[in-house]
Structure 1
Amino acid sequence: MTKLATISMGLLMGALLAGCGSVERLARVGHAPELSPIADPTRDPDYRPVSMPMPAPQDSRQLVANSLWRPGSRTFLRDQRAAAVGDLITVLVAIKDTAQLSNSSERSRGNTENMGLPRLMGLDASYARLLPSGIDPTKLVEANSANTSNGDGKIQRNEAVTMRIAATVNQVLPNGNLVVGGRQQVRVNHEMRDLTVAGIIRPQDIASDNTVQHDRLAEARIAYGGRGTISDVQQPRYGQQLLDAILPF
């Protein structure tokens, strides 16, 4: 395959990949993004039950029939907090992240080497025959090297995300921890906003109003993004993304 054919094949593949995303955009020209249907998250092809390290099981004594306490209760009244698969819980997300890093480095090194063989096992008398004329045996090797490196780096970031999102208990782990996940979609005109949250929480961290702070979620996955006419304009063109990925310079 010639070089021209290879380049043409690469451009064709890039165009096909770009077309996959363009078909969806062309299909909704003049229409707002469609809302996703409400569905069981455990039936999603990408759903995978969470498996975490568990403590050794402990024996629990059976409660007598006339006990004032029932399994899972924390008060005499019914516990309204999420505890079983299918229960709802509100996750409070309040992220205010600030990071500022600054690094500077400087390195310099110089080296000089000289080596000669004025005498070697009595062979100095034969240097004239062994070596080309004009070579000084005392200065056979001479090397110089210098190296200088300077580097500066700076990162300054400020992020703030505040939202409330209802999640569903998808799984109860053997130690009682709850695997929760939720998704929320908000459409304003032709712009869609997607909010997703997932993680593992302890029942003890659930407040009395059935809410939990986002920093109580282990393996937290929180996403806030959008799609629509405004988001499309903010995205680099497919050709530009392709060139950014394959160009080595």
Structure 2
Amino acid sequence: MRIASFFSAVICAFVLGGCSNLAQLSEIGRPPRMTQISDPTRTANYRPITMPMPPLQPPPSEPASLWRSGSRAFFKDQRASQVGDLVTIIVDITDTAALNNNSTTQRTADENLSIPRLFGVKQAILEHLTGAGGLATNSSDDSGATGKISRNETVTLRLAGEITQVLPNGNFVIMAQQEVRVNSELRELKVSGIVRPQDITADNTVTHDRMAEARISYGGRGTLTEIQTPRYGQQILNSVLPF
């Protein structure tokens, strides 16, 4: 069964690799193609977000008043507030982590057991019959381990997204996508998450640390990405080989 599974994985790798190679062959002599601008809610992997919501409260009635609750302008709030409105997302991630872990354990045990009399037989007779007057054991255990983790990541970008959904409690679902092509390398930026209306500033921007369920992706495809990515066969061998 393992051999059959291995060959199945190899065949799948060749098929996927063939599809990838065909896509690469179609772009020989030209830069990577950009995707067409489309409605993000119509993509195959789009799913509307549902979250726990409190019961809806009727808005307060303010007759003969020109002021709206939550407005920052006297006549109209210029911030994004409904599906289709644009909002600028600011991503500024500086993540540094260092962890050192050392552990050492040592244990020594020594046990002696004597039998002075057994069923009326004295220890001298037992020693003559067995060559020992009791039981003696000893053990020793010593182990040590050292671990170290060091990570430094920095991501800084700004991109415009749009509100794709307004949740029943008033929070916004925001999705943003941007493609940048430089020579033969195509960079794809994707950001999505949930924000509160009050976290959108007066200049219609929101920072990533104000987004719940944030999903931030910075990747791409092209000549450099292909060189840095291991081949499918190498990935399969690294996954299945036990040595």
* TM bucket, shorter chain: 0.7 to 0.9
The residue aligned with 1:61 is 60
Q: Which residue of 2 aligns with 1:41?
A: 40
Give the match's secondary structure for 2:133. helix
Decide whether the 8 Å contact of 1:168 with 1:180 is kept in 2.
yes
1:214 aligned partner? 208
2:108 corresponding residue in structure 1: 110
2:131 to 129, 136, 143: 136
1:115: Cα distance to partner?
Answer: 4.3
Inter-CA distance 104–161: structure 2 relative to 1 (3 Å threshold):
same
1:90 pairs, out of 88, 110, 113, with 88
The count of residues paired between Structure 1 and Structure 2 equals 241
Partner of 2:74: 76
Identity %: 50
Residues 42 and 72 of structure 1: CA distance in aligned 2, closer, same or farther (over 3 Å): farther
For each residue in 1:160-190, what CA deviation from the matched residue of structure 2 results, as whole angstroms up to 9, or x when unmatched? 1111110110111111111101000001111
Q: Secondary structure at the match of 2:157?
A: strand
Q: Could you tell me which amino acid in structure 2 is paired with residue 163 of structure 1?
A: L
1:10 CA drift (Å)? 4.9
Q: Residue in 2 aligned with 1:201?
A: 195
Q: Aligned partners of 1:225 and 1:85: how far apart in 2?
A: 27
In 1: Cα distance, 2:157 partner to 2:227 partner: 25
Name the aligned partner's letter for residue 80 of structure 2: A
Instruction: Verify: 1:158 aligned to 2:152, yes or no.
Output: yes
Pick closer, same or farther for the CA change 1:194–1:10 going to 2, 3 Å: closer
How many angstroms does 1:123 deviate by?
Answer: 7.2
Correspondence for 1:181: 175
TM-score by length of 2: 0.86
Q: Is 1:228 aligned to 2:203, yes or no?
A: no
Q: Distance in 2 between matches of 1:30 and 1:134?
A: 93
- Deviating more after overlay: 183-192 vs 41-50: 41-50
Moved more, 180-189 or 22-31: 22-31
Amino acid at match of 2:100: S
CA distance in 2, matches of 1:21, 1:58: 53
Alpha-carbon distance change, 123 to 164 in structure 1, aligned in 2, over 3 angstroms: same
Amino acid at match of 2:131: D
Give the Cα separation in 1 of the matches to 2:76 and 2:237.
61
Deviates further, 149-158 or 66-75: 66-75
SS in 2 for 1:240: helix
Task: Find the counterpart in structure 2 of residue 101 from structure 1.
Answer: 99
Distance in 1, matches of 2:82 and 2:97, equals 38
Residues 118 and 137 of structure 1 are in contact (CA less than 8 Å); yes or no, is this contact kept in structure 2?
no
Aligned to 2:22: 23
Decide whether the 8 Å contact of 2:80 with 2:87 is kept in 1: yes
* Corresponding residue for residue 237 of structure 1: 231
| Residues 58 and 43 of structure 1, relative CA distance in 2, 3 Å threshold | same
CA RMSD of aligned residues (A): 2.7
Quote the Cα distance in structure 1 between the aligned partners of 2:146 and 2:226.
Answer: 35
Corresponding letter in the other structure for 2:173: V
Gaps of 5+ in 2: none
Determine the C-alpha separation between the residues in 2 that align with 1:163 and 1:85.
23
Seen in structure 2, the aligned counterparts of structure 1 residues 42 and 13 have a Cα distance that, compared at 3 Å, is closer
